[in-house]
Amino acid sequence: MQKKGNKYGTHRVIEPKGVLPQPANKIDNNMDEIWDNEILIDVQTLNIDSASFTDISARADHDPKKIAEIMMDIVAKQGKHRNPWTGSGGMLLGTVEKIGDALKDKTDLKVGDKIATLVSLSLTPLRIDKIKEIRADVDQVDIDGKAILFESGIYAKIPSDLPEKLALSALDVAGAPAQTAKLCKPGDTVLIIGAGGKSGMLCCYEAKKRVGVTGKVIGMCHSQKSTERLQKLGFCDVVFSGNAGDPVAMEAKINELTHGQMADVTINNVNIPDTEMTSVLCTKNDGVVYFFSMATSFTKAALGAEGVGSDVTMIIGNGYTKGHAEITLQELRECQALRDIFTELYA
């Protein structure tokens, strides 16, 4: 008979006792037997979150062998893939191998279903047996391994009308465009920082759809290549290259583009630190900043906004919002240009 587990997975926490799996330093990743409210997944691909992969790659001097060593070491020490420097994880693609007895009548899943987990690897019990391929350009790592989805964990079945890797790349950042859909309203001026990346392009598309012809979408990109790519997509009213780590210069640019009005909503999607104050300064006093970036420092954002007398509302990027998987996958279905770019870059 299977052991009875806690819905949030606290039964897997080794230390410190009394905390949830995400902040825990070590969790049990033994896959030989599962608890009654767990789903065992045969893992195919890890989609490491952008901030985490960028950090690990830099520490490994961009050497695939060293990247693999760092990843294996993280999982060996913690029983999960939580980057010790960024604190973030990612998500995974795999096949349902076993369903706990207590969940069999509560889930729409069956053994053999292909799913993407929509909870962070920073809390997911994971065992890596072998790293098969590292695709550094898309932050994806193919492995042989197993993982556990807790009773409270959310997931999306991989749709039959989209390639697996395409769906995985979009679902990894599903929270961003879905939150954008909730935050943006007709007539708004929306600034998207890191607009040329994976989450950025989805957010630009969703923002333009929501603000309509009376609104304005401004895309700030890092490289000339991503700037040109976003310009061709045509989702933004204005696209420019800028350094998100230079808040004074970026404030001057947005001041110019908005005739001093600044942004009603700013979405920060970058994967590097020290972009908090660009987000704050470019947003009007009663506006909203949504920090989707896992490189965001709450301390820098809060104290920085206070220091410049800014009354912006700041939202921490929760990777989950109701309907986020459906909203994001629908974007790829209804916009051929977006689907083509994602297929070229990520599938």
Beta strands in the chain (DSSP E): 13-15, 26-27, 39-48, 90-99, 114-117, 126-135, 140-149, 155-157, 189-193, 216-221, 238-241, 263-268, 283-291, 313-316
Q: How far apart are alpha carbons 135 and 22 in whole angstroms? A: 26
Q: How far apart are alpha carbons 97 and 77 in whole angstroms? A: 25
Q: What is the pLDDT of residue 110?
A: 95
Q: How far apart are alpha carbons 202 and 1 in whole angstroms? A: 46
Per-residue tokens: 27: 């969790």
According to DSSP, residue 62 is labeled T
Q: What is the pLDDT of residue 300?
A: 96
Q: What is the pLDDT of residues 269-285, one digit of tens each?
A: 998 899 999 999 999 99
SS3 of 195-229: CCCHHHHHHHHHHHHHHCCCCEEEEEECCHHHHHH
Q: How far apart are alpha carbons 1 and 152 in whole angstroms? A: 21
Q: Which position has the token pair 């404030």?
A: 251
Q: Which position has the token pair 């919002």?
A: 321
| Domain extent listing, the chain | 10-158, 175-346
Residue range 175-346 in CATH 3.40.50.720? yes
Q: What is the pLDDT of residue 295?
A: 85
Backbone angles phi, psi at 122, to 5 degrees: -70, -5
- Which of 93, 243, 266, 247 has its CA nearest to residue 176? 266
Which residues are paired to 92 by β-bridges?
Answer: 46
Q: How far apart are alpha carbons 44 and 129 in whole angstroms? A: 11
Weakly modelled stretches of the chain, pLDDT under 50: none
